[in-house]
Amino acid sequence: MMEQPKLHKLLELIMLLSNGLKYSKNQIMKRFDLTERTVDRYIQTIREAGFIIPRPKNGDGMYQIHKASPYFKEISELLHFSKEEAHILYNAIHSISNENLLKQNLINKLYTLYNSKEIAQTIVKQQHSAVIQNLNKAIIEKRKVILYNYRSANSDKLQDRRVEPFSFTTNFISTWAYDINSGCCKTFKNTRISSVSVLNENWEHSKLHKEGFMDVFRISSNQRINVKLKLSLRACELLKEEYPLAEKDITPIDDTKFLLETEVCSFEGVGRFVMGLCQDIEIVEPTDLKIFIKKKIEDFLK
């Protein structure tokens, strides 16, 4: 009996080889973290199950499941979209909020099946698709990259950044990467990246790759601060519209009052939201948040 993780990889390999593209043995090895011997064994297993995988010709070493294989039509119809379907899918995906977790799951499945430039252009806005595609390539191949003309939110300066990207945040809004210069893991907002160059250099700090905590206001850091706010109906609805992931942390007090209990990485994100709706929000805790907002207002009035 094949173990579940092996069966999972075998099924993923069947889907990959059924998508109409050809893949080399090295690409398959990197994609699924397999040895050459294991790839050979998996391909032979798929052949024995009745799928036709032609032997590579002229030394090209490329593999795909032939369309004459049993069940190929059924698999193909499940995995592929016509131009009309792709157009409808594009519009449907972009009608969903960026923080919606179902959208995240859909995008992840599409990348699992295709991992191609066409899907990158479908799931993200076209002007950012090349950035996402190159970052995704670097993550799969465990390569370093240069983020050209990255605009930092803190300094508002353009700067090239040399990093090791290792994962995306919800719906590819940002990328978690190890910043080689600063020696720590950070998030880089993908829309602030002008372009990405994938280097012919492997990761060197993979043991340090670790996703940090990101709060519902899209701030990330290693600290967590408990925050409790009473919201009016207006503040509650605006919070859900602007920061949809906060919805899970909201509980109703009555028909017009709501309680937000969540953890934040700093007071910057939640502070901006509270200052914009001062008359609709009561800070229950912590007291430090009140002090933070009071100082911000005093600095503004100077």
Contact 145, 165 (CB under 8 A): yes
Amino acid 284 reads: V
The DSSP code for 95 is T
What does the pLDDT read at residue 271? 94
Contact 229, 166 (CB under 8 A): no
The DSSP code for 283 is E
If residue 79 lies in a helix (H) or strand (E), which one and from where to where? helix 72-79
Amino acid 125 reads: K
Written as six digits, the tokens of 207 are 């043991």
> Does the model's pTM come out above 0.85?
no
What does the pLDDT read at residue 209? 93
Question: Is the preceding peptide bond at 286 cis, omega within 30 degrees of 0?
Answer: yes
What does the pLDDT read at residue 116? 46
What does the pLDDT read at residue 65? 82
Dihedral of alpha carbons 32, 179, 217, 288, sign: positive
Contact 224, 198 (CB under 8 A): no
CA 38 vs. chain centroid, Å, equals: 29
Written as six digits, the tokens of 266 are 């700093």
What does the pLDDT read at residue 245? 80
Amino acid 256 reads: T
Q: Give the pLDDT of the chain (302 residues) as one tens digit per residue.
A: 456 677 778 888 887 787 767 888 888 888 888 898 999 899 898 888 888 888 876 655 788 888 777 766 666 555 555 545 555 666 666 666 666 666 666 666 665 555 444 454 545 555 567 788 889 889 988 999 999 999 876 666 789 999 999 988 766 778 999 999 989 898 898 888 999 999 999 999 999 998 888 888 888 777 899 999 999 999 999 998 888 888 889 999 998 999 999 999 889 899 999 999 999 999 999 999 999 999 998 888 87
